[in-house]
């Protein structure tokens, strides 16, 4: 059973968006953690 064409086209875009969002969250977490460790 194959997915309709639009779903196949959207899949990679949503994956990269999710990955970019995760990277941003990770970077924010790292910067906050770094600031806390520098202060402490």
Whether residue 21 lies inside any domain: the answer is yes
Number of domains in the chain: 1
Cα distances (angstroms) measured from residue 36 to each of 2, 6, 10, 22, 39: 50, 45, 39, 21, 5
**Does residue 32 lie in a domain region?**
yes
Determine, yes or no, domain membership for 2: no
32 vs 10, which has greater pLDDT? 32
- In a domain, residue 23? The reply is yes
Mean pLDDT of 1-29: 79
Q: Is residue 33 part of a domain?
A: yes
3 located within any domain: no
Is residue 28 included in any domain, yes or no?
yes
Q: Which domain holds residue 33?
A: 15-39
Q: How confident is the model at residue 15 (pLDDT cuts 50, 70, 90)?
A: confident
7 in any annotated domain: no
């Amino acid at each position: 059973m194959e997915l309709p064409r639009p779903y196949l086209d959207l899949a990679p875009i949503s994956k990269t968006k999710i990955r970019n969002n995760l990277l941003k969250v990770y970077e924010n977490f790292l910067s906050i953690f770094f600031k806390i460790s520098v202060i402490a």
